[in-house]
Structure formats: structure tokens, C-alpha cells
Amino acid sequence: MKIKRMLFLLICTSLIIPNIYSDSFKYNTYNNHGMIGLINMPTARIYSEGSHGFTFYYGSPDQKMNITSSPFNWLEASIFYSNIKDNPVGCNFQNCRKDKGFNFKIRLKEEGFLPAIAVGLNDIGGTGLYSSEYIVGSYGINKLDMHFGLGWGTLNGTSDFRNPFTFFSDSFEDRPGILNIEGGKIASDSIFSGKNVSPFYGISYAIHPKVLLKVEHDSTLTSRPELPFDDPKSRISFGFDYLYSDNINIGLSAERGNTISLKFSVKQGLEAKQFKYVTPTKIDNESKETSFIRNIQANGLGINEIFEDEDTIGIEVMQFSHPSLDIIEEIIMTAKGESGINKDIKVNYKIHGLNADDEFDQAFKNRAKQIYQRQGKASFYQDTRVTVRPFLAAREDFLKLSVMLNNDGEYIFSENFFFTYNLKYSIWDNFEDLTYPPVDIGPAEVRTDIKKYLNDFDGRIVIGRAQFDYHFSPRENNHIVITAGLLEEMFSGYGFEYLYFDNGKDYAYGFEVFDVVKRDYELRFGTLDYKNTVGSFNFHFRNKKIIPFDAKVSVGEYLAGDLGGTFEISRTFENGTKFGGFVTLTNVSTKEFGEGSFDKGIYFNIPLGGNVGNYMWRPLTKNPGQKLNRKYTLYDLLVKFRPFEG
């Protein structure tokens, strides 16, 4: 009876006490593996879509760096890089075993009267060193958050219960050994497999607005030579997270009675920039049209032309820095009210000289009066900043990096003809230590010699990019860009792209062809012997319903001369944050490709200074399936005019 009373009291308490701690951005923190959790164990919590974060963990026998994102409210994904310092042959921070992989967690149910439920898979597409699966539930009461789950693989260190999936099929009884999993290849036959499973559970409690206490029953598998943990003295781990702010926390933990670990995390939610309309100083006796123009320009819109007839004003916008069309429309409508104009407003959008979206045509221009035209003058813009360029999980070391001075510039000859460049100077780096040669070079070495480029960074000004671009729209919804120059760090050349893009349709299609030559390792104007003509047919689709996403399919020839196709899916948010993944299959055989079998990866584009927030993860760097790293595509330019809302 006492148990029933306690259960009844717990349910009643959960209904009347607001759950403000357990499912919040501040009081959910990343665990040591970069997923929202306790210390090592996961929970069913997931941040709101568009959130992202970085976690650095120092423990024993491994150290980790994790990059985590939430593309949707129900999905959390992370990339990890680990350095295993206490392997059987011994090592220091250098020359240790390196590993990298990909984790994801899907929330099946949000918390309500019943707990939140999530399922997760760790180390997908990696070596399987951390390969594990889990099902976990979470339930919070005010400052207390409680979690219980079952773990497979490396979360199955106690093997207390029979694997429930074996009741459905005997195929779940056998799980391949970790050393039998090929790096870069998904071991589908091991998912939720094994004769037994281990329970894990724990709590987090906000003992202070800035301090979380975490206690867990840790089910980590520790008895394995390839990842040599000390024998656990206890399965109970506890720790404290200090919440320096809503976005930064530091964790100190005692793991399994024998290890002290330290963790640092920084995270960011999806925070759209708050736009504030700027009202310029009024001028006496100023016409409505002049006031209208000044109001628009004071809020960051570049106007090419303005036309007016008896009922309508037509504006051609050619330049803006705002992240969404909603803000642009707000500026135009507010400027209309501020200037006292009562006529209808129609807007044509141009970007890089391309007709992105038109609300009025040439016939309107012919019958209307032109009241403004931009004075076409050449202009130059440049920006210089210090950035950090990492090179992670190389065979030589866990982390190599450069502190770089980057200068980016753009010379605008006309509204559709540009010259852009990127100059780099390495203030300090340790790239000279990257000496181990690549393996599995075939069919041609187009990317695996990246270390030779990095070796030449120190103490020299190098050219990352220097290219000319000419854009035009020969017919409505038909767009072309012609490009020539140093197209990226490893290739120069020339070519063009064509795209059919109608802002009223959810799809776009086109093709691109580029004649390229390999740049030499000094990163100036010299070239190597390798050259090729690459091209692809591209199809884009934006889904606006239920689960919004962008998809791209491209088929053609890649830099190494292999033929095949790439499928890419991504999610983009109004503040510029983008998460995505891709798979590429070509005519290169599994044997010739080597470890990993085919190319795949995920990427982050987070709007931070310079390229700090832009990162692509591949399980392995190989030559097949490699594309030209273009500065932008026509779809990149135009898709911002196609919102997700239906």
C-alpha cells in the first residue's frame, strides 16, 4: 500500500508542479559524448530545432571533441573525434589511436503524462569502437529529472537482462566483434543485437540555479583491450555541471569510482536576429518618393531602379544582407507608411544580376515613369579577420591547427560581374608535422594530398581563391553563371552553370561543366600535371510540408574521373544555420575505394565569424566521389527567395 500511495503522490505532484528545469535549454546539458545526457549515459531530451553545440572532454582512456546539432525538434546528431591515450602499446597525447564517428538520437515521444521516449545509435559509419544503441525514457518533476534506459553494444557492460529483440528473431542474438567492423561502413547486422542488454539510469538535480548534480548507473563496457578502461570500482558515477551561462557549462565528474574527468560545452539555440527598423532624420519639404527611397536605403536595401504610374510603385531591389524576405517586405511596407505613400508596391528581386523573383514586367516599366536609377559605379569591399583552421584526427596527432589571418575581398565591376578573392597568412600552425602519406589513392589523387597543401601554409601568403563570375538571366526563370580563376585551394579552371529556377515551384534543375587543373602545393598560380573536365546534372527539391527539408540529386563525373551520383538532404533556417548529409556512389569498386566502400558525410554551416562554423565530416577522406568546392551555386543564391512556409 505504501508503494501505491507514493506512486499516487508522485503522479499528483508531477501534475501540479511546473516542470521548468528538466526540459529546458539551460538545464539540459551535453554528456561526455556530445549528446544531451547525464555523464556518460544518454537521456531522451533534445533541444529545439536549429540548436547546435561543441563539447570538449578530457578523461581516461580517451579525450573527445564533439560537434552536435538538432536539425529538427525530434532529432539530435553529433560528430565526434577521439584520442585514445592508454592503448596497449602506450603513448602520450601524440601518436595515440584516433577515432571518429557519428551519433544520432530520435525522440519518439515528448514528455506528457508519460515520460519522453528516445532511441539512439552511436558510432554509425565509424570503426565501431564506440558502437552502441539504446532506448531511454525521461521524466521530470520541477528541479529533478529522472532517466531509465536499456543499452546495447558498448553500453552493455553489465548484461543483466536478455535482449528483448531476441524474442522476435534469433538473428538478434549475434553481434559482431568491434574489430570486425570496417571503418566508414555501417554495420547494420549489429544494431540492437547481442544476447543480453544492460540497464542504465540516473538523475540530474538543480541544486542551485547555476549548479546541476548528476548521478548515474554507468553501464559502459569497460573490459575490452581496444579501449582500455580501468576496471570499475563502482557502477555509480556522479558529477557537477557549473552553468556559467545559458550557453556555456563546465562539468567535473567522478566516473565508475576510478576516473576524474573534465568537460567543457558551449551551445547555441536558434536565435533569429532581431530586426529594428531605422527611421532616418526627416527633411523639410522632401517629396514622398525621396523619403521612401531614403527610408529603404537606411535599412540596408540596395535599390537599382524605381518606377511609378498612377496606381503602383515598382521597386527593383538588387542588394541586401537580411536573412529573410519577411524582413525585406517589412522594410518596404514600413518605408511606405513613413513616407506617406498610398500606392500599391510591387518588388522585383535581383541578386548578382539574376532575376530572382519578379512582381512587375517590362511592360510596366515601359508605361511607367522612372523616378530613380542607381548610379552604376565599380566598388570594392574587403574584410580581414583572424580565424582558426583545425585539422582533426590525423594519424599523426589528435589535433593540428593554424591561427590564420584571412583577407576576403570583392570587386564589383557591374551588378552582374564580380571578382572575389581569399588570401591567407598563417600566423602560427603545426601543420608541418603532417607527414604520413595517404592510403587507397586510386583512381587519382585529387583530395588525399591535402597535407601537402597544409605543409606550405607557414610564414607565407597563399591564395585560397581568386575568381571572376559573370551572371545573367537570358530568359525568365533561366539563369547562368560563367566562372574562371582559382576556384578553390586545390583546383583552378573555368566553366559555367545553368539553372532553371521558378520561385513559384518547389523544384529546380540544371547542369554544370568545369574544366579544371590541379593547383600546386605552393598555393599561388602554379599547377600540377593533373587535369580533368567535370560536370553534373542537378535536381533540387524543397519540401514545405510536415518535415521541411531540401534535397539535391546530382549525376555526373567527379574530380578523379569516376562516374556516379550524389544524394544530399539538408535543413536550412532563417538565421543561416544549415545541417545536412550526403551519400555518393560511383563506378569505383569497393575494393578500389578501400575502407569505407563509398563516400558519405554530414556537414554544418553555422553563422559564426569567418568559416569557423562551416564544417564537413567524412568518416574517411578518399578521392572517389569528390566535387569541386565552389564558392556558391546558383541554387545557393536563389533559394533564399523560396521560404519553407507553404
Q: How far apart are CA 180 and CA 196, in angstroms?
A: 20
The fold for domain 20-268 equals Porin (2.40.160)
Q: How far apart are CA 18 and CA 454, in angstroms?
A: 54
Question: What's the confidence (pLDDT) of residue 262?
Answer: 97
Task: Identify the residue whose cell numbers are 528541479.
Answer: 143
Phi, psi of 544 (to 5 degrees): -105, -10
Joined together, the cell numbers standing for residue 24 give 529546458
Strands (E), 73-188: 75-84, 97-109, 116-124, 132-141, 144-153, 161-162
| Cα 616 from chain centre | 7
Q: Where are the domains of the chain?
A: 20-268, 288-373, 379-641
All residues at 6 or more sequence positions from 67 whose CB lies less than 8 Å from its CB, including other chains:
34, 52, 53, 54, 78, 79, 80, 604, 615, 617
User: Are both 20-268 and 288-373 of the same fold?
Assistant: no
- pTM as predicted: 0.84
Q: How far apart are CA 538 and CA 633, in angstroms?
A: 11
Q: Give per-residue burial for 542-580: e unless 16+ CB within 10 Å, then b.
A: beeeeebbbebbbebbbbbbbebbbebbbbbbbbbbbbb
Q: Is 288-373 CATH 3.30.300? A: yes
Share of residues in the chain with pLDDT > 70 (%): 88
Q: How far apart are CA 161 and CA 157, in angstroms?
A: 11
Beta carbons within 10 angstroms of residue 611's beta carbon:
16
What does the pLDDT look like over 220-245, one tens digit per residue?
999 887 888 889 999 999 999 999 99
Joined together, the cell numbers standing for residue 274 give 532581431
Q: Span 115-124, mean pLDDT?
A: 94
How does DSSP classify residue 438? P
- Statement: residue 11 has pLDDT above 70: no
Beta carbons within 10 angstroms of residue 59's beta carbon:
19
Of the candidates 232, 233, 238, the one whose C-alpha atom is nearest the C-alpha of residue 254 is: 238
More confident residue, 593 or 372: 372
Residues composing the chain: 646
Integer Rg of the chain from CA: 28
- Statement: residue 298 has pLDDT above 80: yes
Query: Helix axis angle, 288-297 relative to 325-339, nearest 10°?
Result: 150
Residue type, 253: S
What does the pLDDT look like over 495-531, one tens digit per residue?
999 999 998 899 999 999 999 999 999 999 999 999 9
| Cα 499 from chain centre | 25
Question: What's the confidence (pLDDT) of residue 227?
Answer: 83
- Statement: residue 5 has pLDDT above 70: no
- Under a CB-based contact definition with an 8 Å cutoff, are residues 156 and 196 in contact? yes
Question: Distances in Å between the alpha carbon of 478 and those of 262, 538, 634, 635?
Answer: 55, 14, 11, 12
Residue type, 254: A
What does the pLDDT look like over 408-432, one tens digit per residue?
999 999 889 999 999 999 999 999 8
Q: Span 343-371, mean pLDDT?
A: 89
Confidence of residue 400 (pLDDT cuts 50, 70, 90): confident
Helix (H, G, I), strand (E, B) or coil at 609: coil
Confidence of residue 394 (pLDDT cuts 50, 70, 90): confident
Question: What's the confidence (pLDDT) of residue 91?
Answer: 53
- Statement: residue 171 has pLDDT above 60: yes
H/E run at residue 637? helix 634-638
What does the pLDDT look like over 68-86, one tens digit per residue?
989 899 999 998 888 887 6
